[in-house]
Amino acid sequence: MTYTNIFNANKYLRTTVKYVGRYSSVLGMLLIFFVFTLLSSNFLSVRNINNILSSAAPLFLVVTGLSFVILTGSVDLSTGAVASCTCVIVGLYIGEAGNKILWVALAVGIGAGLLNGLLISLLRIPSFIGTLCTYSIWKCVALVLSGSFNKAIPIDKLPVIAWSRVTLFLFPATYLIALGIYLIALFIERYTTMGKGIYAVGANVEAARMAGISIVKAQIAAYLMCGIGSALCGACYALRTRSSNPSVGDTLNLLAMAAVVMGGTSLAGGKGTVATTLPSVITMVMLQTALKVLGLDAYWQEIVFGIVLLGAIYINADRSGSKDVIIK
- Does residue 108 carry a pLDDT above 90? yes
* pLDDT tens-digit map of 264-291: 888 888 888 888 888 888 888 887 777 7
Question: Which residue segment(s) compose the domain that 158 sits in?
Answer: 26-315
Would you call 18 exposed, middle or buried from its count of C-beta atoms within 10 A (0-12, 13-18, 19+)?
middle
Q: Give every CB contact of residue 150 below 8 A, 6+ residues apart in sequence.
A: 243, 244, 245, 246, 247
Q: Is 316 helix (H, G, I), strand (E, B) or coil?
A: coil
* 63 found inside a domain: yes
* 30 found inside a domain: yes
Q: What total number of domains does the chain contain?
A: 1
The CATH number for 44's domain is 1.10.3470
Contact by Cβ (8 Å): 228, 65: yes
* pLDDT tens-digit map of 161-210: 989 888 888 889 999 999 999 999 999 999 999 999 999 998 888 888 88
In one-letter notation, the amino acid at residue 1 is: M
Residue 290 has a CB neighbour count (10 Å cut-off) of 17
